[in-house]
Amino acid sequence: MKMVYTGLVGDVGGTNARLAVVDSTGRIRNPKTYPAQEFGSLTEVIAEYLEATVGRQRLLSAAIAVAGFPRPS
């Protein structure tokens, strides 16, 4: 039976981006860590991860936590 993934989750910091997919039962699957210095953007990291894990399967949602400090306006 083909695994059905419904979402992407991630934790992005200055050193690493950690990504995983969520299956239809809510379980976290296929976690992978990417060194930030090896990529030019978060978009590149996500594209590589999705190609390696879900291919052309479309995900319904995403939640990405990004480290940083809010800047006053």
Q: pLDDT tens-digit profile of 40-62?
A: 999 999 999 999 999 989 999 99
Residue-wise pLDDT for 25-36, tens only, equals: 999 999 999 999
Q: How many domains does the chain have?
A: 1
- Residue type at 42? L
| Strand duo 5-12 + 61-66: pairing | parallel
Structural domain boundaries, residue 32: 5-66
Query: What's the CATH code of the domain at 29?
Result: 3.30.420.40
Q: Is residue 73 part of a domain?
A: no
Cβ(32)–Cβ(20) below 8 Å: yes
Rg for the chain, CA atoms, rounded: 13
Query: In which band, very low, low, confident or very high, does the pLDDT at 68 lie, cut at 50, 70 and 90?
Result: confident
Domain membership flag for residue 46: yes
Task: Please report the pLDDT score of residue 1 as a whole number.
Answer: 67
- Percent share of the chain, pLDDT over 70: 96
- 39 domain residue, yes or no: yes
Whether residue 7 is predicted with pLDDT greater than 90 in this model: the reply is yes
**Does the residue 40 lie in any domain?**
yes
| Per-residue pLDDT at 17 | 96
List the structure tokens of 2.
């083909």
